[in-house]
Amino acid sequence: MKARQVNKRKNVAILFSGGDSPGMNAFARAFVRLGCNCYDSNILGVKDGYLGLVRSCQKLSCGALTSEDFESLLIDRRGQFGISCLDQDVVWLDGESVSGLARRGGIFLGCARCPEFFKSVFRREVVNLLAKLRIDSLVTCGGEGTLQGAQQLARESQLQVLGVPATIDNDTPGTETAIGVDTALNTIVEAVSRFSHTADSHHRIMVLEIMGRNSGYLAQTSALAAGAEIVVTPERGNLDEAKMRGIAERVERLMLKGRRHAIILVAEGVQVSPVADAGPAKALSDYLAAHFSHLRGPLNRIESRHSVLGHLQRGGAPSVADCILANQFAVSAWEEISANHQKGGILALTHGRMRLQPFGRSRRDLIRDRRSQYLLQKHVSKRWRGDSPHDIGQSERGGIQVAFAKR
Ligand code: F6P
């Protein structure tokens, strides 16, 4: 890394928006320390993502805070002190204010979803506020929604806006991975292993619902790593009667061949058709329970349970891989800021290299990239040839080779 002295002392704001992800703190720590120690810059931390900026604008516009008071608060309450003051939404950070964060989960500045930010009237006020604070660059850290907000802000202002992918969902087009994905996968794989112990004792089917919003990446990848029998993702269509029957029959065949339990991972974004009140894991688990209760013989005693893994997938200390990735993103962010080209975009990891991608890459590329992984999981999960009604075809062999070649 070449630490470059920038011509003019830069003012850079950072915020974390959307759902938090493990490793955000590691990114903040590296970003602030590099900014202070290598780039001689001022770093403004924004609390609770875009919401912190919107809140500041609202306080200023309704008169709850005068511009003079706002500016003197920023001078008087810096670092740790400003962070601990609940009535302060933006704070100048120093190297000390990020100490102890290297392996702490969550994000110390707070993280929030901010639907107001999708309205142009609020964004206009935010642009004016950042101009008043003489901010040159804004670094936004989060998932797809956060980066869409960043793209709009870049379009509507003179600011250099950089997006750093940080989301367990791994649904950011353009980058192979994001901060928090590896930790969430490790958490899920560990949980699946615990569920499989009890499932085996009771000869049960366990249907586990995995986060990921509209993306099946987490479910698909953890199924591959944990050795789950079946995975259901939104990319493969709705969960309708025919699909549930197919799954039930496959589990039945496995059990007839002597399997004592089955683990099924269902991505939370899977739509049940016709629409049901229950989530997809419960809908499938209920279907399987009913299917087995109608069978004759020992299979009639097979029970099914469902569980929603929920927010535990977002917590915990980041894995080593996520800590390193967070530091790499911080280095890359400073390289773009100090390059003085003012170009914005999304920092993305592709083929082992960090690059600046333009905003707005299509989700279709993301889905195409992931198909080979789906095929790999499907065939690796087959214990016996003929487990699944689909036999391996020529095109699928090609797909699997692609999955290996990409590594
Ligand atoms: O985007 C991260 C994520 O954890 C998704 O996987 C999930 O759908 C969503 O956030 C949950 O959001 P919230 O924390 O607002 O309930």
pLDDT, one tens digit per residue, over 299-312 is 999 999 999 999 99
Q: What positions carry a catalytic annotation?
A: 169
134 and 214 share a domain? Answer: no
List beta partners, residue 138: 13, 161
- What residues contact residue 104 under an 8 Å CB cut-off, 6+ apart? 25, 317
Q: Is the CB of 143 under 6 A from ligand 1?
A: yes
131 and 164 housed in the same domain: yes
**What is the C-alpha separation between 92 and 103, in angstroms, rounded?**
22
Residue nearest to atom 1 of ligand 1 (CA): 19
Is the minimum distance from the CB of 112 to ligand 1 under 6 angstroms?
no
What's residue 366's pLDDT?
61
Give the pLDDT of residue 270.
98
Question: Token digits for 388?
Answer: 């699944």
Ligand 1 pocket: which of 24, 114, 169, 172 to mutate (most atoms within 8 A of CB) = 169
Task: Check residue 394 and give its pLDDT.
Answer: 39
Tell me if 167 CB under 6 Å of ligand 1. Answer: yes
Which of 114, 213, 218, 233 best tests ligand 1's pocket when mutated (most atoms within 8 Å of CB)? 213
Residue 287 lies in a domain: yes
| Per-residue model confidence as pLDDT tens digits over 341-397 | 888 999 999 989 999 999 987 666 666 566 777 778 778 887 777 665 443 333 444
Same domain, 105 and 247: no
Tokens at residue 350, please? 């592709």
**Residue 266 pLDDT exceeds 80:** yes
Q: Are residues 168 and 192 in the same domain?
A: no
Binding site membership of 19 for ligand 1 (Cβ less than 6 Å): yes
- CATH no. for residue 29? 3.40.50.450
Predicted local distance difference test score (pLDDT) of residue 390: 44
Choosing from 107, 144, 148, 168 the residue with most ligand 1 atoms within 8 A of its CB, the one to mutate for a pocket test is 168
46 forms beta bridges with 90
Task: Supply the pTM of this predicted model.
Answer: 0.91
pLDDT in tens, 37-53: 999 999 999 999 999 99
What is the rounded average pLDDT of the residues 92-99? 97
What pLDDT is recorded for position 77? 96
Domain that holds residue 278: 184-313
139 shares its domain with 287 = no
Task: Say if residue 401's pLDDT is above 90.
Answer: no
Ligand 1 in reach of 211 Cβ (< 6 A): yes
Report the number of distinct structural domains present in the chain.
2
Residue with CA closest to ligand 1 atom 14: 19
> Is residue 52 one of the residues assigned to a domain?
yes
Are 153 and 192 found together in one domain? no
- Amino acid 341: pLDDT: 84
Least confident of 61-65, 138-142, 304-308: 61-65
The answer as to whether 327 is a domain residue is yes
Structure tokens at 13: 């704001």
For residues 259 and 117, state if they share a domain.
no
Residues 281, 334, single domain; the answer is: no
Report which protein residue has its CA nearest ligand 1's atom 13.
Answer: 19
The answer to whether position 385 is within a domain reads: no
355: helix, strand or coil: strand
| In a domain? residue 244 | yes
Single-letter amino acid, residue 187: T
